[in-house]
Structures are given as C-alpha cells and as structure tokens.
Structure 1
C-alpha cells in the first residue's frame, strides 16, 4: 500500500478547493418604481446609481430596474405597492405613508432633528436600523436606508414672510410633519408630487412650496414663479430615502444577495450626500443672479416653527407608541452627542 504524505494530502485539498465552483450568484430581476424622477440631482438619481453598481458587483445577476414616477405605480403609492406585493421593491422618501405608518415621518425627516451624518450614525450605531425594521414589519415591508441629502430649503414664497401671521391662510405645499406644522400655524396645506408643483405655483393654486435642495428646485423651475427663497430647512435637516422591499421577496434572497443590496445602499447614502453637498453653493449664486432673493427665516419665525414642531411631535407620540419609541431614541442619541457637536466642530459663523 502506497503511503501519501501529509504535504501531498494538503496539496490535494487546496487544489480541490481552488477548482471548486464559487457560490453561485442568484439572478434577481425586480422592477423598482421611484417617487422622484431620475433627472433630479441627488434626490432622484441615487437609486439608478445603486442599480448600476449592483449590476457591476453581481456580474449582471442583480438587476433592480428603476421606473420613473407613474410608469409602474403612482409616485405616492410606493409603500402600498410594496406592502401588498404588487411590486417586490420601490424607492421613496419615507413619510408619504404617514397615515398608515405615523413613525415613517420621523425616519424620513425630523423637524429640528439630526443632520445627515448624525442621522446615519443613529441608524447604523444607535439602534435606528433595528427600530426601522420593527416599525415596518407589520406592513410586510423591509426598508433599507438607501440615500440621504443635505438640508432642504425651507421653501419658495410669492411674498416675504416676516411673522407667523403671514402664514395664516397661505396656500402651501408641504409633506409629512412639515405640513402638519404649517397647518398648526394657520397655513392651508396640500400635498402634491413634485411634477405638479410648477403649474400649481404658476396658476396661483399655491402661494408657496417646499420641495428639496436648491439644485432640485432649480430643475423644477420654481425660481421662475416665486422670488423669495427661504432657508434654513428646519423641517428637514436631513431628507432620508429608502429602498422598500416586500418582506416575502426579501426572505427569498440568499444572504450573499441581501448583503450586496444592503452594502450598495450604504454606498448610495454616501454618494447622495456628497453630491448634494458639492453643488448647492453654486446654485444659490445662480439664483441671486436671476433675481431671486435669498432669505433666512428670522428668530421669531424659527421660534414659532420650533414651538409648533414640539406640539405636533408630542401629539403624534401620544397617539402612536412606535412613534414615541423612535422619537425617544432619536432625542436621546442627539442629546448624548450635543456636547461633541457644540465643542468638536468649528462654529458655523466663525470666519
């Protein structure tokens, strides 16, 4: 009987391992409707970027084909379509489903809340992601944090806004909690998708609107019909977007595929924020050259918005335990890091 040395056995084992086929990459073909047009900078082009990167990292096996708003399902029906299984996945700002999932509003944007870097820290290291999954599980939706942009502008107005009384009776478009806060201050609030806002402003259906970043607002042409552009975006210090996946569809995926989607979405958060931060200063300069007056809400207005925000958040928390649970977590994380943010960064007004 011929003896085989230990080194020979090791060589045979290594050779077998190297010649064994790698874990097969499964094929995924999903249609992904979006709430925003892919032409909208950082807001609408993040999911197409994620889709392209997924094709590359999977060798073409994962194809999340994006669809423009209204092409597969209505722009404001992403959540319902994923929840019912009409589509496997969809991409949207979180908060349009406020009526069914109240806590969605603060995952999307918390007035006077955390800016994107701190929000991402809370999601990834402060327990936010576990709360996110817990909140949406009863609705058959597995949400993945998949994009976040810089603060939105506070909005476009036909007239100057000096005191809270100037908001009374104002016909204004706002989403999620921002809309409830404007209502509390006496505005007449409506919720329209981005594609309908220019015409509504032009025809006087609206006296003002908030929507997104200066670059996005420019793409939608708001500066042509309203000349008072207000900042800061107190209502949305961060604007957070998610890939909504039907829970049953998610459960069918291999762990490898799930990890590829989650990792690429994490990259999408970075790319969206970087693009958003890169372009806004130049756009504000363009607006000024075109006759737009850049204004900051004064302390009186910000105090009024802050007071109304606290009242609205308290009302929502009293009605919904999950809303309270998530808001308490956010507030605790923000408080824990307050000294760091106050002391660790240069003051914004330092020159």
Structure 2
C-alpha cells in the first residue's frame, strides 16, 4: 500500500512528498480541518471513503485524519499546496491569507441560499473561477458539501444595538468576521476545537461556529446563553476536498471521475440531512434554557450596510475578489429576475 503522507513528519522537514505510484492500492491521507466527531462532517467523510474504495475496487482509499493529527488546522491547505500533505478536508476561506477572494468561495454575507449557490457554482462560472485560483497554488478542489444557513453566534448577553458589539472579543469566520470588525468588534480566528475552552477561560466573549446540530455537539450551549439568528454571514457554506495537483495528476482519469462523482453524491445526501437535523437541535437547545433570538431589523440593516462597505474595500485591493464577486453578482441579478416571477416566496 502506498501512503502519500504516511511519513508527514519527514515530509515537513525534507520538502515535497514524493510518493511512488506503483501497482496496488493508493491510500490518500486527508487532513481534516474540522473535528470528524461532528455530525455531517463525520457522515460525509465515512460516505466518501466508502464510495471511493468501493467504486475503484479498492484501488484508491481515502484515510481521514482529525485536525492536528497530520498538521495544524490553520496550516493544512498551505501544506497541501506545497505537496507536504496529499489532501485536506476544508473550506476555501481557510486559505484567505493568500487572497480574500477565497472567502467568497466559502460563503457570501447576505448571499445565496443553497440552490442559488450551487447554480452559480456549477452553471454560472463559480467553479471555473475557484479552480483557476486554487490551481495557481497547486491544488485541485472538489465541492463535497454545502450547508444551509448557520447560526449567527453565541453571546453571554443580548445584543440590542451595534454598541454592544464594539470591543467585543469574538471568534467569527470569514467575511462575516470582517463585517463585525468593521463595526468595532475584536474579531479572532481559531479552530473549532479551541472555541469552547477559549470562552471558558475568558479569552473570547462570544463565538460563531456552524449549524445548531454542530454547535450543540461542540458544547457552545455550555459557555453562552444567547444564540442568534439568522446567519446573515453564511446563508450557505461550501466545503471541499482539496488534493495536491501532483497527487491528483497521478490518478487515472477514471479514478478522478470516481472521486468527483462520490463528492457529488455526498453533497446531494448532505443537503437534505443538514436541513432536517436542525429542528431537533434547536428544540434541545431551547429545552436546555438557551435563549434563541433573531437579530432586530435595524441590526440586520447595519450588518448589510457594513458588508457593502467591506465588499467595496476588498474589490479595491484584490482583483480576484472583484472578479469572483462580480461573477456572482451578475448571476444573482439574472437569477433574481427568474425567482421573482417563479417562486411563491
């Protein structure tokens, strides 16, 4: 069996991994940036692993690893880019240190729902743009999951006005974090596994992570009382399998097609599962005494105005951000024309 990243410690110090691709089974280690114990992530990883092995008759096997097992979560995509890791399970916004445009490929504040996001991605040019961007860094990206709206954050106190956000130290991901920083919050980034501990120690005062079903398992209800909705910052969120281009190029065309097709099935199954899991999670959180709150209209308008300002700033500094944002915006305007006439709401 050939393990592309089996000697990661050596690879990290000796340079690019250079696996031998002889006959037999090819095992591709996948460094996850998300805890695999969380619902949806665990099911997706198991399904993808099973499908790829079955459909390739055991020629290709994916081996998923917990965050930190092969590399720190914050460095994972960079290590895939360099060839020191074979593959990663992540979201594009985790590569934003190279260009803020990658954050648009995770989620867009006040942006599309799942149907519209998938339409833009697969039929509106989004995937071609993202593959061009990741390809420049030696990565082949494969869409594998898309989530519905996330929770908008956990807080110890109610947020009644923008004044309550000023100076608040909060863990917030992606472009939503840029919006809150614009409004005066002290925004920090940290992996999922560190959030609850940081809140207990008082290192942060609030946080957002993901869907209610995931936040529940992560234990955010143990460190905060108020849970806010809607998730204006992530109305839909894309997750992908990232494979080093050299590793991807060594696979046969049939093996490549199999992994792409398996990811499509995982995405299809996950769309329904993610939607149906959230009611039960919210009911359990409510039963535990968590206060579910909706943002006031005034605050939502404040967030949206701040997002417009952030988008303008990023377009002025990043040509790629402008290219991706304008691609989505053109698609959105055309889609809205159709949606206005065709949908009941």
TM over 0.5: yes
Question: Structure 1 residue 208 and structure 2 residue 213: aligned?
Answer: no
Between 265-274 and 155-164, the greater mean CA deviation after superposition:
265-274
Determine helix, strand or coil for the equivalent of 2:154.
Answer: strand
Cα distance in 2 for partners of 1:152, 1:43 equals: 15
Determine helix, strand or coil for the equivalent of 2:238.
Answer: strand
Cα distance in 2 for partners of 1:329, 1:114 equals: 13
In the alignment, which residue of structure 1 is the partner of 2:112? Answer: 114
Cα distance in 1 for partners of 2:60, 2:113 equals: 32
Say if 1:299 and 1:274 are closer, same or farther in 2 by CA, change over 3 A.
same
Determine helix, strand or coil for the equivalent of 2:254.
Answer: helix
In the alignment, which residue of structure 2 is the partner of 1:293? Answer: 291
Q: Is the 1:38–1:48 contact (alpha carbons within 8 Å) kept by the matching residues of 2?
A: no
Structure 1-normalised TM-score? Answer: 0.89
Q: Is the 1:42–1:149 contact (alpha carbons within 8 Å) kept by the matching residues of 2?
A: no
In the alignment, which residue of structure 2 is the partner of 1:169? Answer: 167
Residue 183 of structure 1, CA deviation: 0.6
In the alignment, which residue of structure 2 is the partner of 1:32? Answer: 30
Q: 1:183 aligns with which of 181, 186, 189?
A: 181
CA deviation map 1:207-262 (0-9, x unaligned): 11000000000001111121100001100111111111111111222111110011
Cα distance in 2 for partners of 1:75, 1:182 equals: 23
Cα distance in 1 for partners of 2:50, 2:215 equals: 25
Cα distance in 1 for partners of 2:218, 2:340 equals: 36
Point out where structure 2 has 5 or more consecutive residues left out of the alignment: 1-22
Determine helix, strand or coil for the equivalent of 2:167.
Answer: coil
Cα distance in 2 for partners of 1:309, 1:334 equals: 16
Between 283-292 and 213-222, the greater mean CA deviation after superposition:
283-292
Cα distance in 2 for partners of 1:186, 1:135 equals: 31
Residue 342 of structure 1, CA deviation: 3.4
In the alignment, which residue of structure 1 is the partner of 2:129? Answer: 131
Residue 343 of structure 1, CA deviation: 3.9
Determine helix, strand or coil for the equivalent of 1:132.
Answer: helix
Cα distance in 1 for partners of 2:119, 2:340 equals: 17
Determine helix, strand or coil for the equivalent of 2:239.
Answer: strand
Determine helix, strand or coil for the equivalent of 1:295.
Answer: strand
Residue 44 of structure 1, CA deviation: 4.6
Asked which structure has the greater CA Rg, the reply is 1
Cα distance in 2 for partners of 1:211, 1:169 equals: 20
Q: Is the 1:94–1:107 contact (alpha carbons within 8 Å) kept by the matching residues of 2?
A: yes
Residue 340 of structure 1, CA deviation: 3.1
Q: Is the 2:148–2:235 contact (alpha carbons within 8 Å) kept by the matching residues of 1?
A: yes
Cα distance in 1 for partners of 2:181, 2:237 equals: 21
Cα distance in 2 for partners of 1:342, 1:50 equals: 37
Q: Is the 1:42–1:273 contact (alpha carbons within 8 Å) kept by the matching residues of 2?
A: no
Q: Is the 1:43–1:149 contact (alpha carbons within 8 Å) kept by the matching residues of 2?
A: no
Q: Is the 1:43–1:272 contact (alpha carbons within 8 Å) kept by the matching residues of 2?
A: no
In the alignment, which residue of structure 1 is the partner of 2:145? Answer: 147
In the alignment, which residue of structure 1 is the partner of 2:215? Answer: 217
Q: 4+ residue stretches of structure 1 with deviation over 2 A?
A: 25-28, 339-347
Cα distance in 1 for partners of 2:33, 2:44 equals: 12
Cα distance in 1 for partners of 2:170, 2:148 equals: 22
Residue 47 of structure 1, CA deviation: 2.7
In the alignment, which residue of structure 1 is the partner of 2:71? Answer: 73
In the alignment, which residue of structure 1 is the partner of 2:19? Answer: none
In the alignment, which residue of structure 1 is the partner of 2:48? Answer: 50
Q: Is the 1:37–1:45 contact (alpha carbons within 8 Å) kept by the matching residues of 2?
A: no
Between 110-119 and 153-162, the greater mean CA deviation after superposition:
110-119
Cα distance in 2 for partners of 1:130, 1:300 equals: 37
Q: Is the 1:171–1:206 contact (alpha carbons within 8 Å) kept by the matching residues of 2?
A: yes
Q: 1:344 aligns with which of 338, 342, 345?
A: 342
Say if 1:341 and 1:281 are closer, same or farther in 2 by CA, change over 3 A.
farther
Determine helix, strand or coil for the equivalent of 1:101.
Answer: coil
Point out where structure 1 has 5 or more consecutive residues left out of the alignment: 1-24
Cα distance in 1 for partners of 2:33, 2:180 equals: 23
Question: Structure 1 residue 194 and structure 2 residue 186: aligned?
Answer: no
Q: 2:312 aligns with which of 311, 314, 317?
A: 314
In the alignment, which residue of structure 2 is the partner of 1:64? Answer: 62
Structure 2-normalised TM-score? Answer: 0.90
